[in-house]
Amino acid sequence: MRSALELARLGPVADPNPRVGAVIADAAGQVVGRGYHRGAGSPHAEVVALAEAGSAARGGTAVVTLEPCDHTGRTGPCSVALVDAGVAQVVYAQSDPNPMAAGGTARLRAAGVAVEAGPLADEAAALNRSWSFAVAAGRPRVVWKFAATLDGRSAAADGSSRWITGPAARADVHRLRAEAGAVLVGTGTVLADDPRLTVRGPDGTPVDRQPLRVVMGERDLPPRSRVLDGAAETWHARSRDPSTVLRQLFDRGIRRVWLEGGPTLAATFLADRLVDEVVAYLAPTLLGGGPPAVADLGTTTLGQALRLRLDEVTTLGPDLRVRATPTDGRGS
């Protein structure tokens, strides 16, 4: 299973489908096939591994990080492929939470294949955290990122914000941004900061796969805005309703949204309980004025505060990265 998980990690992080790895052992226990899912529309991990194994798969064991699917989409059901290949046993780590694809174990057992829930289920689930959340919630998992001074300011009084944090923190932002299917800001951020919202590598050049750039709001964008530069696909979501926009993104195959909007947009998502993780970059700097990281949440007393569970604190050069989860039961 450890080998299958390593294979799964080779798949694309941002994809409508989960990352899955598969290893096929023959009847004598020798590995004869390996495979992983390379992205939407490509053969599933089990099919790739079975193709490599050939006839040696008959009577053998398939070890898979996710329960084999029983769904016909752009590719056929993996459960059928395993039955046709004549495997005697299937061991999987994570159960499939997708009701459209679930049922693979039932088909396998009905065909006489021994099926067993195997080890490393938690690691397999963590590999597809956003995908699993999105399947269950019917919307993408939202990660809100912000950079601020220690006194909670996202910019100075004159609006300047470049750069609050240092190079190590900014590089980390690009690394995590690359894991998202979409980067979302409001029209106010585009008008004030004219961000590019692309992912750049350590040398400053754009990477090959770029997340969808989403600008949410009803105001028109200046034709020369950098989000319209063609460096990545951009969608202007002319809506002020986060739930509507997230549903539309889910329908487009987006499973993880990296929310980089300003204080007002962040407050809107937070007030609607649509932030599932917070990633905060804190610089050892004090401003004493300027806009806060988040606008008014409508709380008038400490008892109404949105509480977070502290998950991780990491030092990045002189800055801190804090990862936290809302504790209202909806974050994952």
Kindly provide the b/e burial profile for residues 232-270, where b requires at least 16 CB atoms within 10 angstroms of the residue's own CB. bebbbbeeeebeebbeebbeebbbbbbbbbbbebbbbbb
CA atoms of 8 and 73, how far apart (whole Å): 20
Residue 25 CB contacts under 8 Å (≥ 6 apart), including other chains: 31, 32, 60, 61, 63
Q: How far apart are CA 296 and CA 229, in angstroms?
A: 33
Candidates 46, 52, 277, 312; catalytic one: 46
Annotated binding site for NADP(+): 147, 163, 189, 193
Cis peptide before 163 (omega within 30 of 0): yes
Known active-site residue 46:
yes
Select from 141, 133, 105, 157 the least CA-distant residue to 258: 141
Residue 212: closest CA among 187, 188, 233, 185: 233
The answer for residues whose C-beta is within 8 angstroms of residue 166's C-beta and 6 or more apart is: 283, 316, 317, 318, 319
Which H helix or E strand runs over 243?
A: helix 242-251
In contact, 61 and 90? CB cutoff 8 Å:
yes
The structure tokens listed for 314 are 């990491």
Which residues, at least 6 apart from 45, have a Cβ–Cβ distance to it below 8 Å?
4, 7, 8, 20, 21, 22, 35, 36, 37, 64, 65, 78
3-class DSSP state of 281: strand
Query: Which residues define the annotated binding site?
Result: 44, 69, 78, 147, 161, 163, 177, 189, 193, 197, 200, 260
Binding residues for Zn(2+): 44, 69, 78
Determine the Cα–Cα distance for residues 38 and 48; give it in Å rounded to an integer: 10
Q: CB under 8 Å to 125, separation ≥6 — which residues? A: 94, 132
Radius of gyration over alpha carbons of the chain, in Å? 22
Task: List residues with catalytic annotation.
Answer: 46
